[in-house]
Structure 1
Amino acid sequence: MTDSGRTLIIGVDGGGTGCRAAIGTPNDGVLARAEGGRANVASDFALSIKNITSTVEAAAERAGIPRAELSKAAAHIGVAGVLGPIENAQVVSGLPYGSMTVTDDRPTAVTGALGGQDGYLLSVGTGTIAAASTSGTFTYVGGWGFAVADQASGAWLGRAALEQVMLCHDGLTDHTRLTRALLSKFDDDPNAIVAFSMAAKPGDFGTLAPEIIAGAQALDPWGQSIMKKGADHLMRCLTRLGFLPGDTLCLSGGVGPHYADYLAAEFLSGRIESRGSALDGAFQLARSNLVNQLESN
């Protein structure tokens, strides 16, 4: 494919609960998308590479593109767990595409949600991204991963919920309807919670987030308190990034929009809906990277 407008481009958004891929060309845009298993290279590198590869191949099959053509494609891989040049190089060496740029999952989320415009993003899913975009430059607060950060995230909510359940079981605080419901998921057996926690990845903890959110919406006192605690952290992040009342703010991710009920009003006056997903951002960056590469040659 010598025509740059027909060159295959691939965008990948990989995170703790799943991987998404889009394939297309600069002229035609996205031809097909696919979803696959989790992809956090810090949690499980080999599984992440396997899931990225199979998800891209699934998208290619849907678009009627032979697998052999993927080796000629230009790709932007935005994947959780890329901490620096070592992980970057490992991802590049592990994937079969013609040319690649690799980042963590923050630039793709910001690019997709804000559509290349200035503003602020709180992308809260399995993990948490707090970011500002100014004239194409991104600034971040947090995003250091579940082990030491990701406050307000789905994984953080799930882990906090199980900690609360154990405190209730030990009689150190009172059960609520939500904590009793969570305990029942483990057959009312605290040892089952311990066993789960020993093997759980961030995405596993994140699977509990919908119940916590629903509990808070049903006015469960503990559910509301943990959502408020998460919102307090997110507001501190925005303030640190320089947010001012009226600035553009997008809440994205599976958990992010649910924090709108807990953020102070001054943070929401400039709120916008997401202009695109992190996968849209990855595809957009892949296209921009290809154009820049051709212009520099």
Structure 2
Amino acid sequence: MIKSGSTVIIGVDGGGTGCRVAIGTLSDGVLSRSEGGRANAASDAALAVKNIASTVEDAARLAGIPTSALSHATAHIGIAGILGADDSARIASALPYKTITVTDDRPTAVTGALGRHDGYLLSLGTGAFAAASQAGVFTFLGGWGFYVADQGSGAWLGRAGLEQVMLCHDELADHTPLTRKLFEKFGGDPNALVSFSVTAKPGDFATLAPEIIAGAQAADPWGQAIMKKGANHLMRCLARLGFRTGDTLCLTGGIGPHYAGYLPEDFLSGRIQPKGSALDGAFQLASSNATQQPESN
């Protein structure tokens, strides 16, 4: 049970495959974490709000924080699909916490991975973006969403896999063990594959990414080709951001570290492991906001 008057802190990291919540207090730090359903503001804002709220309540129960205390909490919500101030305000107004900052998921990822240090980040999960942090100023490339960007991401890999399967089915490309394995997931039925694609969300496509990564690791020629294509895009992003050999570089997300084998060795000379996750970054940003108001004991 938290002390009376303690400032409750909520950090949220949301994306196409689920949302994660860390809850605690300004004095004690994180007390519990919980995971819930999808939270992408562009794909389904109402579902994102519902899943965030329920996951926060789950985390609060685990931490022994009464639901009534949440209305006095300070929260930083970093979720995919935030396209501007209107989206941020819409999500914030639908949640019951006292002080709420809503951003897309890029600032939380950079803060979690690099802390307050300068460096570069390649973040690839369901979605993808590249970032530079210099003297506390963030510069971002990508992160525009699956339908127009997110090259190299899990969703991008999954969709590319199905596109290649259909080319093979139409005998416009030669099957490889990987494309045959992907096709088998749909019973070798092109209509079943197309039906899936019509309703699939980015997170659904991303569920196929592990197969592609594994295929590339097993020297499947198509699997290696698509991973190299993704890596080439990431190298272009780093060059545009001003990256130089030896600079700090962090690869994060479920997909990011798998690109290490496809990047030049000199790009990795300054590679570091992430200092924390995007969820850690969200909690850290919420804590920073809360310090503007003294905590009573």
Shorter chain as denominator, the TM-score bin is over 0.9
Match of 2:193 in 1: 193
Deviation digits for residues 157-195 of structure 1 (CA, Å, limit 9, x no counterpart): 000000000000000000000000000000100101100
Matches within 5 A, 1:213-232: 213-232=213-232
- 1:61 maps onto 2:45 in alignment: no
Aligned runs of 1:107-146 on 2, under 5 Å?
A: 107-146=107-146
Letter in 2 for 1:136: G
Partner of 1:176: 176
Shift of 1:292: 3.2
Secondary structure of the structure 1 residue equivalent to 2:42: coil
For normalisation by structure 1, the TM-score amounts to 0.97
**Distance between the aligned counterparts of 1:20 and 1:162, measured in 2?**
29
**Alignment partners' CA distance in 2, 1:239 and 1:292:** 37
Q: Give me the whole-angstrom Cα distance separating, in 2, the residues matched to 1:89 and 1:251.
A: 30
Cα deviation, residue 129, structure 1: 1.6
The TM-score normalised by the length of structure 2 is: 0.97
State the alpha-carbon separation in 1 of the partners of residues 155 and 25 from structure 2. 35
Residue 24 of structure 1 aligns to a residue whose secondary structure is strand
* Equivalences, count: 294
Q: Deviations over 1:9-49 (max 9, x none)?
A: 10000011110000001110000000001100100111101
- Partner of 1:151: helix, strand, or coil? coil
1:253-272 to structure 2, matched below 5 A, reads 253-272=253-272
Counterpart in 2 of 1:81? 81
CA shift for structure 1 position 2: 10
Q: Which amino acid aligns with 1:88?
A: S
Q: Which runs of 5+ in 1 are unaligned?
A: none
Give the partner amino acid of 2:181: A
Report Cα offsets for 1:93-138 as digits up to 9, x if no partner: 1111111111000000000011221100001000002000011110
CA distance in 2 between partners of 1:80 and 1:2 (Å): 33
Q: 1:239 to 1:292 in 2, by over 3 A?
A: farther
* Shift of residue 3, structure 1, vs aligned partner: 8.0
Aligned partners of 1:120, 1:8: CA distance in 2, in Å?
31
Give the aligned residue type for 2:94: G
Amino acid at match of 1:63: A
1:229 is displaced (CA, Å) by 0.1
2-structure distance, mates of 1:132, 1:92: 27
SS of 2:54's partner is: helix
Query: 1:27, 1:293 → 2: CA distance?
Result: 13
Residue 11 of structure 1 corresponds to which residue in structure 2?
11
Give how far 1:293 is off: 5.1
Give, as a single letter, the amino acid of the residue that structure 1 aligns with 2:230.
G
Encode CA deviations 1:73-105: one digit per residue, 9 max, x unaligned.
000000101110110110011111111111000
SS at match of 1:271: coil
Q: Percent identity at matched positions?
A: 72
Partner of 1:246: 246
Distance 2:265 2:141 in 1: 21
CA RMSD of aligned residues (A): 1.4
Structure 2: gaps spanning 5 or more residues: none
* Alpha-carbon distance in 2 for matches of 1:294, 1:203: 40
